[in-house]
Structure 1
């Protein structure tokens, strides 16, 4: 069995287990098998069991998106922040090879258990991108529509790339949406 000293070291490993197996498929025995950690270690770090593990993973994902995507979209120059979003999303989802854990949780029976965290992830992404577009000169309604379309498209591209085994779909979708954001509506 593997020995880790920090809860934070365990969370990325758990995230990959949940990404691969889903919440329901990630039994405690499969989690121990995949992470190399004993049940005692897991319960030491997560006394609330699998639900606490999932909450910690969702908080970890949320923290990354808050730092790397949402805050720059809200605070940085729009063109810089949007370019950073494209790079960050491509890196984070490994050019379409990595499923969106929050999206996966939204699609199965787990959704009700973690509804607030799931909704917040998507809502804040759309709102942050909308705010950047408005600061970039887009009318508010069109910025909101386009931001929703982009987040929807990214999520759909992840699903389609995974379903077809064609990771290039994700790159093509990102390029398509980048082009759409460069076409500001006329005022």
Structure 2
């Protein structure tokens, strides 16, 4: 068996980059191929279901990132609250490249993507929100308050990404990260 020329994480990040900017319906096989460094035939060899399998793999990859970088950090009671929050906000900043990147959940929620990937998108978002709920409860909030703050946190991140992209400035995204820090202190 020949070694793979392109590693899985590199390939998935390339696919994610195209799907973030183009959405599911807008991402062409040519663009996906170029972003991964693989020929179309190699992509189909790895993803027999074509673009649908590629998007599903990207969402699974993203869910793994959310689980490692957000959920598990927020629920780790061996780390102080402030360190958990700072680590998670730094991860969110990295995940969205300082507010320059579009959210995959948003991109794949458009057009036919939501009917194809709605359950996977919901699962990833739930993981994110549930981490913030558990963090809020751990900080002494009741479940209702923790849930409201967790939902608002997700909404704020997503809204700030849209605003940042539309005005060509990452300032709204960076301000929201500060607002979230203040929300939980």
Give the TM-score normalised by structure 1: 0.89
Report the counterpart of residue 122 of structure 2 in structure 1: 119
Paired residues of 2:10 and 2:36 also in contact (CA < 8 A): no
Instruction: Tell me if structure 2 keeps the 8 A contact 1:79–1:136.
Output: no
Structure 1 residues 34, 9: CA separation in 2 closer, same or farther (over 3 Å shift)? Answer: closer
98, 101, 104: which one pairs with 1:101?
104
| Cα 1:29/1:147, change in 2 over 3 Å | same
Q: Deviations over 1:41-75 (max 9, x none)?
A: 11111111100100111111111110111111122
> Which runs of 5 or more structure 1 residues have no equivalent in the other structure?
183-187
Q: Which residue of 2 aligns with 1:171?
A: 174
- In structure 2, the residue matched to 1:43 is 44
Shift of 1:8: 4.0
Alpha carbons of structure 1 residues 179 and 8: separation in structure 2 relative to 1, 3 Å: closer
Take 1:68 and 1:142, find their aligned partners in 2: how far apart are those partners?
23
Of residues 173-182 and 55-64 in structure 1, the stretch that sits farther from structure 2 once superposed is 173-182
Deviation at 1:6, TM superposition (A): 4.1
CA-to-aligned-CA distance 1:85-108 (integer Å, 9 cap, x gap):
111101111110011112221233
Residue 108 to residue 81, structure 1, CA distance change in 2 (3 Å)? farther
How far apart, in 2, do the equivalents of 1:96 and 1:136 lie?
27
Query: For the residues of structure 2 that align with 1:25 and 1:107, how far apart are their CA atoms?
Result: 10
Question: Displacement, 1:133?
Answer: 1.0
Aligned counterparts, 1:3-14, within 5 A = 4-14=5-15
Map of 1:75 onto structure 2: 76
Report the Cα distance in structure 1 between the residues aligned to 2:6 and 2:174, rounded to whole angstroms: 38
After TM superposition, the structure 1 = structure 2 runs for residues 20-169 of structure 1, keeping only pairs within 5 Å, are 20-76=21-77, 77=79, 78-169=81-172
Mean Cα deviation higher: 46-55 or 6-15: 6-15
User: SS state of the match for residue 108, structure 2?
Assistant: helix
